[in-house]
Amino acid sequence: MAQAQDHHQAVAGAPHVEGQQHPIGIYFKIWGLLFVLSAFSYAVDYFHVQGYLRWTLILIFMVAKAGLIVAVFMHMMWERLAIVYAILTPPVLVLIFVAMMTFESDYTFLTRGLFFAIGE
Amino acid sequence: MAQATAAHTGATADRPDGLEGFVSDWGSDQRAFKGVPWGKAMMWIFLLSDTFIFTCFLLSYMTVRMSTTVPWPNPSEIFALSFGGEPIPLILIAIMTFILISSSGTMAMAVKFGYERNRKVSAILMLVTAMFGAMFVGMQAFEWSKLILEEGVRPWGNPFGAAQFGSSFFMITGFHGFHVSVGVIFLLITARKVWRGDFDSAKRGFFTSRKGNYEAVEIMGLYWHFVDLVWVFIFAVFYLW
């Protein structure tokens, strides 16, 4: 936030400058970083990493990419907390939904297994 | 910034930052989103609702995949592509991912140049973004035709395994591809407006009859980055699972 304020002051002399303005370098850096992270997640599949390691890596790269896009490309890191919390808290609550559906599908899998094993 | 936006977006310079600012903004008995133009706030709220739509798709997919007793088709092999030699696993999807990320990069810069009133560069960057988007949709069309015509994948069944694979795939990637296509159309419209200088001459919009400004480019950017964001999740949970 402090950096953003400094930068806004730096460009305040330009005519009619408003909204989110940031040096172009940060976009190139994030672009490069997203390329590297995507290459990593592709490599996870290419080199057949399996099991818990696969899931850990995939989820880390996914969250890192999503975070970079929201924070920098969508300018969330420069917004005030009022809108950051209003927009980002609800999707986090979706994790509860994910947990519920995990239990539900495990239960369905179990009953299907029982049904096919015992027959009717 | 503070001076330029004080008139129409709510002053932010004299307000506290951090958690204290969060409480005081929400408790201000006025607009809660200080320093955020209303169009941008509305786009964020639309994107939030769109997040829930894609959440429902991806969660349904997760549920059918975890609960089926039939083996799930291996995406790594199904989406492999051969360039004359051995098939390379998932290569088409990887290329599509890189294309979409590149389009996000050019879009972010288009927003910056728009705010700087560098109309030509901003419009050209938006056209490049639209071109990347069209390439993405084209590759998706290629992938769909290959799956439908050559492999015989249908929403109700496929030769590889669990029948739910087809319905999940067509629903999720179809809805995402639709978002990309709509984005390309709006990118072309916004690029034309920027190129013509509609936002400098305060020309009224054809549809809304309202005067636009360069916030429209940032709002367009939010939508486009969201499309990229959704692809990050689809790539991870549909193709890499």
pLDDT given for residue A2 in this prediction: 45
Least confident stretch, A2-16, A25-39, A54-68: A2-16
Q: Which of A1, A81, A91 sits opposite B19 (nearest CB)?
A: A81
In which band, very low, low, confident or very high, does the pLDDT at A8 lie, cut at 50, 70 and 90?
A: very low
Tell me the ipTM for this assembly: 0.89
- pTM of the predicted protein model: 0.89
Least confident stretch, A7-21, B31-45, B167-181: A7-21
Encode pLDDT of B67-92 as tens digits. Answer: 999 999 988 888 888 887 788 888 89
d(CA B184, CA B178): 10
pLDDT given for residue B225 in this prediction: 97
Residue of B nearest to A99 (CA): B59
Mean pLDDT for A23-46 is 93
Contact: A1, B68; criterion CB under 8 Å: no
Encode pLDDT of B49-67 as tens digits. Answer: 999 999 999 999 999 999 9
Residue of B nearest to A116 (CA): B69
If you average pLDDT over every residue of chain A, what do you get?
Answer: 85
Q: Which of A27, A59, A75 sits opposite B105 (nearest CB)?
A: A27
Contact: A73, B214; criterion CB under 8 Å: no
Is-contact B12 B2, C-beta < 8 A?
yes
Is-contact B1 A8, C-beta < 8 A?
yes
Q: How far is B60 from chain A (nearest CA, A)?
A: 8
pLDDT given for residue A116 in this prediction: 86
In the predicted model, is pLDDT for residue B5 greater than 70? Answer: no
If you average pLDDT over every residue of chain B, what do you get?
Answer: 90
pLDDT given for residue B83 in this prediction: 82
